[in-house]
Each structure stands twice: as C-alpha cells, then as structure tokens.
Structure 1
Amino acid sequence: MNETPCPNCERLEARIRELEEQIAALLKRLQELEGRQAKTSHTSNQPPSQDKPWQPKSERQKTGRSSGAQPDHPGTTLKMSAHPDHTVHLPVTGHCGCGQVWGDVPVETQVTRQVHDLPAWQLQVTEYRADVKICPGCHHRQRAPFPTHVTGQVQYGQQVHALTVYLNVAHFVPLERTSEILQALCRARPSDGTIALNLNLAADRLQDFESHLRTALTQQPVLHADETGSRVNGKLQWMHVVSCAQLTFYGQHARRGRAALEDMKILPKYKGILVHDAWSSYFKLPAQHALCGAHLLRELRGLAEHHGQVWAGDLREALRTVYHELKAGTLSPEARTAFERRFDELLEEGLLANPAAPPVPGRR
C-alpha cells in the first residue's frame, strides 16, 4: 500500500531542519563570543594591557614551601666598606662613676658602625673663562677656545644629560616627570625640549653600537622575537623586540608586519632558530621556526577552560611538568621519551577534535 506524502509533514520537517541549522550556528556563535569575552593574556595572545584588573594566574607550580627566602638561600647583607669616604671620631667624654676623667684615659680600642647614604645632591656650576688678547701689531683679536662640550653660554652638563636619558629610556619616565624628578633631587628642571635633544644626541652616538648589535644578533644560534602595540602621539604603532640571553634590540615602527622586520635589518637574513608567537609575518622569514612555550600554554589554557577540550589541558600539564623537571635537572631519558610519545598522542587528539573547516568562498 503506497502512502501519499503529507505536504504539511514535509514542510514541517524542512522547517525543523532549518531551525536545527540555525540553532547549531547560534550555539557556535555563542561559544565564540563566550571565548572572546573570557580571553585574557593568560589564555591567548592578547596583551596584558587589555586584561581586566584582577589577580592574574601564575604558571608556577606549588612547592609547599613558604614564601620568601628559603633555608639554603645565601642571602645578601649590607657589608662594611674597607675604605669609607668620611670618618667621624666619637670620643668618650665626662667622668667615670668613680670620678675618673675620661679625657685622661688612653683609648683601648674602637667599635665602628657605618651609614651608607647618598650625598646631598646639588648642581655644581663650572665657569669657563676664556682669555681674549689683541695683537699689538695687526690688532687681531684672539680668544682661547672653549672645550668641545661647552657649546652654549649657559648649559647643563653631561651628567644631567645622561640622567635624563636614563630615566626616560631605561625606566619609561615621561618627559615632564623626568624634569620633576631632577628638580626634587638637585633643583634642576630641564625643559621637555632639552630632554628631547638629549635623546636625539644619545641616539646619534649609538649608531655604531646599533650596527654591532645587529651583527651580533644575526650570529646567535637562537633568537626570540615579539611585538606589542605602542601609542605614539595618540596613534597605534608597534614596539618590536629581537633578543637572546645577553642582547636585546628594540625597534619602534608604524607597521606590525614585514615592513617593520625589513627596517630592523636583523631577521630577514637570519638562518638560525627563531622563537615567536606564530604571527604570520615570522613564518615568511628564512629562519628555522619554534613556537614560544609561554604563548602555547596560554592558548592551551584557553582551549581547556573556555572550550572544554580535555586534550589541551592534558598537553598543557605535560608541557609544564617536563619544563620544571628539565629546569630542576630531574628529567630522565625514560621520562623524556615518555613525554615525546604522550605529546604526539595528545596532538592527534587535538587534530581529531578540531578538523579543518571547509573553505568558504570569499572568506579568508
């Protein structure tokens, strides 16, 4: 017996399928939005400056020991100086309880204490007086030359210049606050223009050093590269860094990608191992590539905590465990082999849990 299809049933089934597709799309979108809302610098590549102001999570493993210096820590103590700059003699005066005058008693020994402090800061003004002579024969006027570093009638000296550059560059103190610090310490208040001039002079004098630094970095077997957003005159630019254990190069640039790397003149010709955060511009370089472990731990934490992917949490714990064992020198060859096998297994689980999405026309 043939059953006649019910037009209403077919429409109902089509509508149900349509609603199921919409629900699936909405659930996927909801998951993406929840993951984006929960994203921090501890679960992704988001910079710490965009985090919400609560206590960050630490990657350190608990050891059960109390905070502060440990029993086997050598510690540091302020030590007596063998060559004090000033000595203050403190004589014994007055009378002993028996009536003896202490001034008539010879000194048996001395007990010393030292105070390490800064001297009172104040500007020292050096005045240069150049002789001027007039030749009695031809009446030519001749002045003695000033030192090369004395270019103005009144100026700050090299120590003040160096301190302003140090505060502004090494400690990121703004120009106005740098002036305020100097005024509080030594009653000198250089203007913003003077500090800016000091920065330009320092940059000019470091050109040879910068060239040597570039050369030294390209000769290192392993380099680390990263970049972060930086505001310059209210506009977004990028602070790039290339470093190894002993050397660090900073480069400010308006671009984040290839153009900045070309201008820094380090990475485009580097052939060693480059550790980075998987930013696409780095993969276009001729170096051998290694992904930053700290960034991997953040991404794995985000996948485990916000997307429920168990393999990511297991891989994160395996990476942290092998790192701490390697750092402590307790990683055995057998444990290393077991970790590598487990690493491959967890990567396979990750690939199965996250199949490649089919390409969508018109979308990257």
Structure 2
Amino acid sequence: MAKKRTPPDLSALTRGELECVVLTLWERLEALESKVAKNSRNSSQPPSTDGLRKTNSLREPSGNKPGAQPGHKGDTLKRMAEPSRIDTHPLPEQCERCGCALDQDEAEIAERRQVIDTPVVAVDVVEHRVLALRCACGQRHRSAFPASVTQAVQYGPNVRALGVHLTQGQLLPFARAAQLINDLYGIAISPATLLAWVDEARVALQATADAIANSLRVAPLVHADESGLRVQGKLHWLHVAANDSHTWYGVHAKRGMEAIAAQAILPQRIGVLIHDCWAPYWQLPGTHALCNAHLLRELLYVQELTGERWPARMSKLLLRANELREAAQRKNIALSDADKTALRTFYDAILSEGERRHPARLKPTGKAGRVKQSVAFNLLLRLRRYADAVLLFVADPAVPFTNNLGERAIRMPKVKQKISGSFRTLLGAQNFCVIRSCLDTLRKQGHGMLAVLQRAFAGNPIQPAPG
C-alpha cells in the first residue's frame, strides 16, 4: 500500500517558493499526461506497447476499396512448361453406350491440369572410399579423400547451411530448427550441433562482413539506428549502418560514442548520415539528414496534446514537399530554387507561429538547475536548430524522406529476440550480427540466403558488390 503523503503548509511559503512548487507540480502533471497520451502512432514507442488499442497508420486513407483496383492485370499460378512427370489417365476399354472397344492410341488430349508440390525428400548419403594397392616392386599406393572430407561420418555443407539459415535467416529457435530438419529429412541433429554450425558460418563469413563495413565507410549515404538487445540477461545495444545495397550489424555493451567509435564505421565517413536526431550522431562528421517519419509522429503528438494548428500545418508542409520532390524525380528534374525558397519560407513561418505560442520558460527566483521546457518548445527548438537537416531531402534528391531503411534493418533482430528471448552469450550475439549482415546485404543484391550459406560452407563465399 502506498504511503499517504501529508500536503505541505503553503501558507508559510514565500512567493518565489510557491512558484517553485507550482512549476514542479506542473512538470509532473505534464510528464504523466505525456506518458498516458503517447503510443506508436505519435511517438517512437513500438506497437507492442499499445496493448489492445487499435494502432492507426500515419498514412491518409486512399479512398479505394480493399483488394485489386480496376485495371490491375492480376496474377495467378502459372503452368510449368516442363513437368517432372506426366500421368495420363486412360479411357474405359469400351463405350458405355454401344459396348464397342475404344482405341486408346487414337485418343486426343482433351485437357491438362498440373499439381505443383514438393517432393518427398530423402537424405543423400555419399560414402567416400580410398583405395590401397601394393606394387609388384613393393611400393604401397593409397588414394586420398577430398579435402572437405575429414571425419569418419560428418554432415555436408547443404544441411549445415540449412541449419544456420533456419536459426539466423528465418529466426527459428535452435530446438525448433532441429525438429524441422528431423521432420523433413529424418536427421536427428541436436541444438548444440546447430550452435556449432553457427560458429563455423561466422568464421566463413567474417571476411564478407568486413567487406560490407568497408563499403559503408565510403558510401555517399548511410542510414544509422540503434536499439536495445538482451545479451546474457543484460541490456546491450544493436547498432545498424545500412543503405540500399548493404547492411551492417554490430553489438556493444554501450549505446553512445564509445560503441560508435569501437565499431569504426560512422566516424570514418564524410557523406550523408540519416538518423533520428539522437544526440551522439551529431558528433559525427559529414552532412546530417533527419528522419521525417519521427518528426511527423512527434508533430501529431504535440497537436493532440495542445490542440493547436501549427503542428498539422508543419506535417502537411513536409508531406507536400516530399510529394513535390517525388514528382520532380519522376520527370528526371530537380526542384527549382524558387520552390526550395518558398518551402523554407513556409517552414520558418510555421515555426514562428509555434514559437509565439510556446516561449521559453524562465527560471523562477531561487530555483537551481535548468528549467524543464514543454514538449512543444523542445520540438520547435529542434526543428529550428536542425532545419537544414530536416529539409535536406528537398535540397538533395538522393536523400530519402525518412530513416525507414535503417529502422527496417532493426526489425528482424528484434523479431529474433521476441521469438527466442535473450542471447545466451555475447559470442552468440556477435555471430548473429556477422551472419545477418551478410545475409541481408546479399539478399539486397539478389542472392538467396540459403545459397549464400551453402557457398560459405563450401569454402567459396559470395562477395558483395561495392556500394
């Protein structure tokens, strides 16, 4: 039971002390209202925190009915040109009406139907034998096993690749992956064996992951993001650097510049870095661009909190600017200087309107430390201070409107953590980051994830194309 608090005697307080009490209570009330009002639609909170509330998208309804729209070509299951087997179903031996014999050789194909299915698979066991022979002169000769055959009984590269693909690509827990392999092929593999294969895959793919990191260091544009990751029951941080063709993952016990410096990708770049305005990113060199999806959610929250018009006007301006930019790109032209100037003028005017409504709070007499500002004031300050980064997508057509590419890269590791729980060891988390970096990068470049792992276990890993 919570301890009952005795209200203070306000009559004995001075004016300055009363102002401090009122300000403190106001700040606590605002913090509580903020906590209750936030959800995944108007903040960076994940949808899982919404509970049973309906989650609404920021996208406006199109007005179209669900399903395919008029004029859509559609797609359906296609007939295979070369079936693997043909079953011809014969006619009866005689006519049902007159009893005459029917000549099967004169029959024509009336209709074809195909059933596409997976074959019943069986284990492919290859026994390698070496021969020995003694020459008449006494010299003994012996043939040799292939270099990859080192044990009396061992697993081949395909089943090892499948095991790693199921756990690191498809994110199954090790026990379920082992059960699936047993159900499909009748091979009883232990989860510990799968874990050993993951270690082997990480070694085989480490050079590929290093090449990915090198490509991102010199890439003209990179998305960055980070998120919590449970390792050995403790909070660690998953760091992501990604673009259209490459993805790199790293895990570190720290979130800030210590981790960013240790991973040695972002500090060495001089191109455009797209992020969510997290403070340590501003310490990095190069040109910065902010994720406007984050800003749209924050503007929606401030609009719901204050009931004012300027957040909605700013949201519409940003969305309209992106529409103009995309229309210009479809025509292979750039926005004119007049359009860019007009957008910046409207942007500044909306900020000025908000700043008039939300001036800085002054420190009351006798109160120590900084004054906590309102949510609206802090957002306005950020939009003003980093205006060039907010609108960089207008000035540079190569810069995306959002950091969604970086955020999408975060999702699969979070899904794995949700399915399997915490990583048991730091080595396991590091293995996952190396393997997942290679799988996601090469998937972007048109390779199947299973094929990537098969090549790695065969000793000939696929190398990523430069960004």
Q: Into which bin does the TM-score normalised by the smaller protein fall?
A: 0.7 to 0.9
Q: Which residue of 2 aligns with 1:123?
A: 123
Aligned-pair CA distance for 1:161? 0.9
Distance 2:208 2:274 in 1: 24
Query: One-letter code of the match for 1:341?
Result: T
Query: One-letter code of the match for 2:44?
Result: N
How does the TM-score come out when normalised to structure 2? 0.67
Q: Which residue of 2 aligns with 1:320?
A: 319
8 A Cα contact 1:93 1:103, kept in partner: no
Query: One-letter code of the match for 1:195?
Result: L
- 2:78 aligned with 1:82, yes or no? no
Aligned-pair CA distance for 1:290? 0.8
Q: Which residue of 1 aligns with 2:203?
A: 204
8 A Cα contact 2:41 2:58, kept in partner: no
8 A Cα contact 1:168 1:174, kept in partner: yes
Distance 1:307 1:339 in 2: 25
1:245-295 Cα offsets, whole Å, 9 max, x none, are 222112222221223222333211111111101111211111211111111
1:20/1:285 CA distance change after superposition, 3 Å: closer
Query: One-letter code of the match for 1:54?
Result: R
Distance 1:17 1:361 in 2: 12
> How many residue pairs align between the two structures?
353
Moved more, 91-100 or 277-286: 91-100
Superposition pairs of residues 268-347 of structure 1, within 5 angstroms: 268-324=267-323, 326-327=325-326, 338-347=342-351
1:135-168 Cα offsets, whole Å, 9 max, x none, are 777786x653222222222222211111111121
8 A Cα contact 1:40 1:46, kept in partner: yes
Query: Which has the greater radius of gyration?
Result: 1
Aligned-pair CA distance for 1:116? 1.3
1:358/1:40 CA distance change after superposition, 3 Å: same
Query: One-letter code of the match for 2:257?
Result: R
Aligned-pair CA distance for 1:223? 1.3
Unaligned runs of 5+ in 1: 1-10
Q: Which residue of 1 aligns with 2:171?
A: 172
8 A Cα contact 2:167 2:173, kept in partner: yes
Q: State the SS of the aligned residue for 1:75.
A: coil
Moved more, 20-29 or 122-131: 20-29
Distance 1:342 1:92 in 2: 79
Q: State the SS of the aligned residue for 1:115.
A: coil
Higher relative CO (Cα under 8 Å, sequence separation at least 6) belongs to 2
How does the TM-score come out when normalised to structure 1? 0.84
1:263/1:12 CA distance change after superposition, 3 Å: closer
Q: State the SS of the aligned residue for 1:102.
A: coil
Query: One-letter code of the match for 2:123?
Result: L
Moved more, 124-133 or 333-342: 333-342
8 A Cα contact 1:164 1:178, kept in partner: yes
1:187/1:355 CA distance change after superposition, 3 Å: farther
Q: Which residue of 2 aligns with 1:252?
A: 251
Task: Please point out which of 343, 349, 353 is paired with 2:353.
Answer: 349
Q: Which residue of 1 aligns with 2:5?
A: none
8 A Cα contact 1:47 1:228, kept in partner: no
Moved more, 118-127 or 11-20: 11-20
1:74/1:289 CA distance change after superposition, 3 Å: same
1:189/1:328 CA distance change after superposition, 3 Å: farther
Unaligned runs of 5+ in 2: 1-9, 372-467
Q: Percent identity?
A: 36
1:24-78 Cα offsets, whole Å, 9 max, x none, are 4312310112102332333223344544343322022111101122223333222
Distance 1:337 1:76 in 2: 45
Query: One-letter code of the match for 1:210?
Result: A
Distance 1:17 1:266 in 2: 51
Q: Which residue of 2 aligns with 1:5?
A: none
Aligned-pair CA distance for 1:356? 4.5
Aligned-pair CA distance for 1:302? 1.9
8 A Cα contact 2:91 2:104, kept in partner: no
Q: Which residue of 2 aligns with 1:99?
A: 99
Compute the RMSD of aligned alpha carbons: 3.1
Query: One-letter code of the match for 1:130?
Result: V
1:189/1:109 CA distance change after superposition, 3 Å: same
Aligned-pair CA distance for 1:225? 0.6
Moved more, 90-99 or 277-286: 90-99
1:22/1:308 CA distance change after superposition, 3 Å: farther
